[in-house]
Amino acid sequence: MATSPKSSGWVASLLRSGYDLVVIIVLVVAVRTIVAAPFYVPSASMEPTLQIGDELLTTKYPFGYSRYSLPLDPGASFKGRFLGKMPERGDVVVFRLPRDPSETLVKRVIGLPGDRLQMRAGRLWINDQILPIRSAGVGQVEADDGTKASAGLYIETLPNGREHPIFKLTDDGPLDDTPVFVVPPGMLFMMGDNRDNSLDSRVPEDQGGVGYVPLENLIGRVDLILGSWDFPVATEGPLWAWPEDLRLSQFFSRVR
């Protein structure tokens, strides 16, 4: 049976729509794989730099690409990094938890391969040198349930001169005095800026911690906060009041 011009036009339109959809999907996957992807902050371990409810823009190209750069993991047979580059101390990064790659974390790179790190009485030492800190007053630490407590706010200076804020509640907590950690080749040492409320590389994998993080596990560098919403506080109030808990000052702010 011959196809009428009207029906053939409808078919052509449908094919074009399908083609456009495929192109859009391919572009989205390519951008999320090569350029950047959004991630959400569910915990307080990186306060005051990142807060619960921050939506992050993570750029993928600074450190090259691994199987964890892909939206879908192709499996352990795809190893190493393509166009790999070592992060700098102080970079805030998103990575896969080594003992459970299905879990994604965000921390700050503190130690590079070969570094010696230790916490002594609440102060961080790198390669046998104590890191300088200066007081920046007092800040509010937010727990996962939305409750807040006052904590000392300090600016810490890394060996490469980069500065970043940290929270300290005490100098004698369980992670304030540690053995010396020597970062193995191909590994990184991660810490949270909320030093007394961060499960990070100070806790070994066999004790439920992060341990050393392979370079392969890096997803990307956090460069921007796209938006922020104080959802633990917001959900306690009526629905119409939730927009009041948007942190507008955090929108499109740089992460350092």
Region of 146 (left: φ > 0; alpha: ψ -120 to 50; beta: rest) is: left
The SS3 of residue 246 is: strand
Please pick, among 43, 45, 66, 69, the residue that the annotation labels catalytic. 45
Let me know if 60 is a catalytic residue: no
The contacts of residue 166 (CB under 8 Å, 6+ apart) are 48, 133, 153, 154, 155, 156, 193, 194, 195
Let me know if 45 is a catalytic residue: yes
Specify whether the CB–CB gap between 198 and 178 falls below 8 A.
no
Please pick, among 43, 60, 66, 107, the residue that the annotation labels catalytic. 107
218 secondary structure, DSSP code: E
* Angle CA 11–15–17, to nearest 5: 115
Question: Is it true that the peptide bond before 62 is cis, omega within 30 degrees of 0?
Answer: no
CB neighbours of residue 42 within 10 Å: 13
Specify whether the CB–CB gap between 160 and 131 falls below 8 A.
no
Dihedral pair phi/psi, residue 222, rounded to 5° = -80, 120
Q: Show which residues are catalytic.
A: 45, 107
